[in-house]
Amino acid sequence: MNAECTFEEYQKGLAEDKLLGVLCADCNAVTVPPQAVCCKCGSQKLSAKELGKTATLKSYTVIRIAPDGMNPPYIVALAETDDGPWVMGNLVGLDPEKADIELIGKKISISSQEVKGDIYAIGDIRALTFNLQ
């Protein structure tokens, strides 16, 4: 495995307000969060790449029945970063009951927050959060 950016380094980057991925030397795709192989072509020729933290909201759902430890309702969203890759995170700073179709296409900024681990997790981790710009 080419460990140009490990999960631990990705998590450390989030704690320092950086969004890290890996850039493929074969096809130029960026995989985020970093993985051992390129998300597009499977190559292992990867190097760490810091992405910008702005994106466009593409889809979302309001979670009303949540796993243990989570506090519904909350919004889980997909966004296309200005650098290309799509990322998933929680849209925060907005009442989930007021979420509507007008959110699609809005510009967001990407940050992160600590999420307490549950019985399925490796422990507490940082997860992406989105704020409307």
Residue 104 CB, nearest approach to Zn ion (Å)? 29
Amino acid present at 31? T
Q: How far is the CB of 83 from Zn ion (least distance, A)?
A: 15
Give the residues lining the site for Zn ion (CB under 5 A): 24, 26-27, 29, 38, 40-41, 43
Distance of alpha carbon 89 from alpha carbon 59, whole angstroms: 11
Closest CB 1 distance from Zn ion, rounded Å: 15
Residue showing tokens 């460990």? 3
Question: Given the complex with Zn ion, which of 41 and 127 has the nearer CB atom?
Answer: 41
Which is closer to Zn ion, CB of 37 or CB of 62?
37
SS3 25: coil
Nearest CB to Zn ion, comparing residues 35 and 111: 35
DSSP code per residue over 47-88: EEEEEPSEEEEEEEEEESS--TT--SSEEEEEEEETTS-EEE
Taking the complex as a whole, the smallest distance from the CB of residue 41 to Zn ion amounts, in Å, to: 3
Are 44 and 37 a contacting pair, CB within 8 Å? yes
User: Which CB sits closer to Zn ion, 26 or 124?
Assistant: 26
